Amino acid sequence: MKAYENFYINGEWVRSEGTGTMDVIDSATEEVIGRVPEGSAADVDAAVAAAKAAFETWSQTPVDVRAKYLRDIGAALAGRYDDIVDVITSEVGSPKAFAQMVQAGLSLGEWETFAKLVEGYAFEEQVGNSLVVREPIGVVGAITPWNYPLYLIICKVVPALAAGCTVVLKPSEVTPLNAYILAEVLDEVGLPKGVFNLVVGTGPEVGAAISGHPDVDMVSFTGSGRAGAEVTKAAAPTAKRVGLELGGKSANVVLDDADPTAVAMGAVFGCYINSGQTCSALTRLLVPESRKQEYIDAVLEEASKVGLVDPKADEPDLFHNLGPLSSKAHQERVRSYIQKGIDEGATLALGGPEQPEGFEKGFYVKPTVFTDVTPDMTIAQEEIFGPVLSILTYTDDDDAVAIANGTVYGLAGAVQSADVERAKGIARRLRTGQVDVNGAPFNTEAPFGGYKQSGNTRERGRWGLEEFLETKSIQLPV
């Protein structure tokens, strides 16, 4: 078991001011694999004070020096690749191949991406007699979730550091061990004291203290809508910037000329990725009424190939192997949604709410497919965050767009069609932050974020950097 007793504040490993500890549970074995301090508001005060003191120097550090730090950190983090994979397979339950390629793999590439980006970014431009300057916003409080724990930390920390901001990080208390690896790397590289600070704790204690702190200039939050609302409320009295990346109920719109086999593979992987614990997962499959049985049969055939695995086993198939969910509480939540789907009259075509056979231990949920789902059902409206696919039908393109846009969310979506131009036309009508056409690959340099209750921020690429910048106009004499 890996037990930590300290937080990383002002370039030092220091004892928490809190008195409690929190256990970290292996998602597959349900055993305790780690223990971390339970932080307090006093720990946040110390971390914010360190970040505030470091900001003046770090914000004035030349861009090329900041870029070199990013590259050095990325290289050092790559040296901990195996440790990251091992920790995330246990904390999150991601199968080893997925942890290698996605959880750890994506986390390593962002350092070079933002080093290049910041080196070429125009921080100043002349507009008439004004010099318009982009400057770092200040102290950033980063509050991150458990589903892609290290990558979503990095999506905030890297652009914030590149912009010249200092950071106080609160990772999820469910998956904090990967954040300690990052802190160890930053310490090893010699990032100046106070530029990065780590405090672990609960949302109501540490998250609220960060959100409401008068010396925190921005809060960047990824998580549930409910928690995002609490962050916004806490931040309101100080009028700080709040960046929210929240949930989704994304629709995969299948047009009537799409190939059923291609649709099936994309639909199943798009929904079940990371055991469904993905905010942009394509959890609603919209198929035309005129061809519904063809698409349903193809999807059920593909979904039946998906199996549950021990996350640490060498199972290379990214498309058909799922690990457990992140926690017992989350497993029970997802199962309650499956039962609600049954109770509300949807047809359970695959899976179900019971503990899977052969997995007496572990937070596993059966890969599940519902048919005969109507747009008003709970499973078609609320984010489940598990391996549960709802198949709905529509009559024509206008009906498909109306159903796709008919939730409070607007994070992602997809369109599948033999006619790319027709698909692009539907994509433009979807009220979401990103849309995939015919299974197009994920682009880490494109902006990511949502409409409506899916949030108000954009992460990744140039747009991610600009989230952490303020704009100043300096009027010059003519």
Q: Dump pLDDT digits (tens) for 8-28.
A: 999 999 999 999 999 999 999
Q: Residue 398: enclosing H or E segment and its boundaries?
A: helix 397-404
Helix (H, G, I), strand (E, B) or coil at 414: strand
DSSP state of 388: E
% of the chain residues with pLDDT over 90: 98
Return the structure tokens found at 204: 């109501």
pTM as predicted: 0.97
CA-CA-CA-CA torsion sign (102, 299, 366, 276): positive
Q: Dump pLDDT digits (tens) for 352-380.
A: 999 999 999 999 999 999 999 999 999 99
* pLDDT over 90 (residue 419): yes
> If you average pLDDT over residues 458-472, what whole number do you get?
98
> If you average pLDDT over residues 453-462, what whole number do you get?
97
Active site residue 165: no
- The CA–CA distances, whole Å, from 178 to 166, 175, 190, 424 equal 20, 7, 19, 39
Q: Within the chain, which residue ranges are assigned CATH 3.40.309.10?
A: 251-443
CA nearest neighbour of 205 among 439, 350, 22? 22
**What is the distance between the alpha carbons of residues 411 and 227, in angstroms, rounded to a whole number?**
17
What pLDDT score does 316 carry?
Answer: 87
What pLDDT score does 147 carry?
Answer: 98
* pLDDT over 90 (residue 58): yes
DSSP state of 29: T
What pLDDT score does 124 carry?
Answer: 97
Confidence of residue 319 (pLDDT cuts 50, 70, 90): confident
What pLDDT score does 395 carry?
Answer: 98
Mean of all residue pLDDT scores within the chain: 97
Among the options 91, 279, 302, 383, which is catalytic?
279
Class of domain 2-246+455-473: alpha beta
Helix (H, G, I), strand (E, B) or coil at 444: coil
What residue type is 370 in one-letter code?
A: F
What pLDDT score does 1 carry?
Answer: 86
DSSP state of 101: I
Class of domain 251-443: alpha beta
Q: Dump pLDDT digits (tens) for 112-131.
A: 999 999 999 999 999 999 99
Among the options 245, 302, 383, 467, which is catalytic?
245
- Whether 93 and 31 have beta carbons less than 8 Å apart is answered as no
* pLDDT over 90 (residue 224): yes
Active site residue 245: yes
What pLDDT score does 400 carry?
Answer: 98
Q: Within the chain, which residue ranges are assigned CATH 3.40.605.10?
A: 2-246+455-473
What pLDDT score does 318 carry?
Answer: 82
Q: Dump pLDDT digits (tens) for 131-169.
A: 999 999 999 999 999 999 999 999 999 999 999 999 999
